[in-house]
Amino acid sequence: MIYNFENLVFQGGGVLGIAYSGAIQVLEEESILPSIQRVAGTSAGAICALALALRYNSSEIQTILKDTNFESFVSEARPLEFTKMYGWFRTNPFLSWTKELIIKSGSNFHPHAEWTGDETFIDLHNKGGRDLHVFATDLNEKKSVEFSYTHTPNVIVAEAVCASMAIPAFFQAFKFSNEIPNNHIYVDGGALLNYPIMTFDSEGTNPLTLGFKFRKSEMVSTSKDLDYGSVREWVKSLVDTIADSQSEMIRRTPEYYNRTVDIDTGAVSFVDFDLSHDVKEFLIGQGREFTIQFLSEYRKSRNIFRRILSYLYPK
């Protein structure tokens, strides 16, 4: 077997997550997906992980992401609620979209499963979904929290993903409707752990894990003209800065970076919700290209003859 991956991990990245559909397409073409047992992600990565946990195939995931009007996620602006709810936009549209994604997944399971959209992690497990791990930030306890069948079996999956997507100040802070696991205030998991590549490292670096993250090209412009009065631009700069700092840490950590597909997303921002068709196609293409490149290098590294030559004749 060329590949031995069993776990996939996806970085958060807002609308950049559409690039993952191109990456998943390659994983399916290389017959990697059937071996995947566990998936993890933060924010947009949590959406991708959820789709895989619900056993959507690559074509379905690409159609879902290409056809989604991301602007609808920011259709309920409530500026007068900002000081009370700590965010400009309500999370209701995104939560409804996530529940619909879950409901429509019933046909992916055999026998056909009936889904309500309010399934918990234990429900997902019992109905045959892949093992899902989602990360959000608990502001009450000031820590990153993992939601999964093992850690939080009775938490509603759609709400955990929504909590993971609640970009600080952009979306209103999230509370779980039934106070399970608690009544704390949550925001985007990316605030503390945007790329949970270590999720499955219970006994050291796990070689069965393959991760996906984003990086920007050198041509990305900075927000030198940022000033008071532009909430959207302020949030874009804040989110990009936090993500960039965490990405730099990953690049400096070989045990994380060496098992990571690093997708160049050009100058597209995490919160560019008004993506054009051409930009979506660009991101999908980048996801494909950089996954193909990574797997090509991976195959070379697995070639025993190359490894022997590298050992005998180091550069």
3-state SS string over the chain?
Answer: CCCCCCEEEECCCHHHHHHHHHHHHHHHHCCCHHHCCEEEEECHHHHHHHHHHCCCCHHHHHHHHHHCCHHHHHCCECHHHHHHHCEEECCHHHHHHHHHHHHHHHHHCCCCCCCCCCCEHHHHHHCCCCEEEEEEEECCCCEEEEEECCCCCCCEHHHHHHHHHCCCEEECCECCCCCCCCCCCEEEHHHCCCCCCCCCCECECCCCEEEEEEECCCCCCCCCCCCCCCHHHHHHHHHHHHHHHHHHHHHCCHHHHCCEEEEECCCCCCCCCCCCHHHHHHHHHHHHHHHHHHHHHHHHHHCHHHHHHHHHCCC
Measured CA to CA, the distance from residue 192 to residue 186 in angstroms comes to 12
List CB contacts of 75: < 8 A, sequence separation 6 or more.
Answer: 89, 93
Q: Which residue has the higher pLDDT, 224 or 217?
A: 217
Q: What is the CA radius of gyration of the chain?
A: 19
Mean pLDDT value of segment 190-217: 90
Q: How many CA atoms lie within 13 A of 215 on its CB side?
A: 15
> What pLDDT, in 10s, does the model give residues 137-181?
999 999 999 999 999 999 999 999 999 999 888 899 999 999 999
Average the pLDDT over each of 35-49, 61-75, 95-109 and give the range with the smallest value. 61-75
Measured CA to CA, the distance from residue 182 to residue 185 in angstroms comes to 9
Q: Is pLDDT of 110 > 70?
A: yes
List CB contacts of 291: < 8 A, sequence separation 6 or more.
Answer: 22, 23, 26, 27, 212, 261, 263
> Which residue, among 178, 164, 175, has the nearest Cα to 48 in the 3D structure?
164
> What pLDDT, in 10s, does the model give residues 52-90?
999 999 999 999 888 888 888 888 989 899 889 988 899
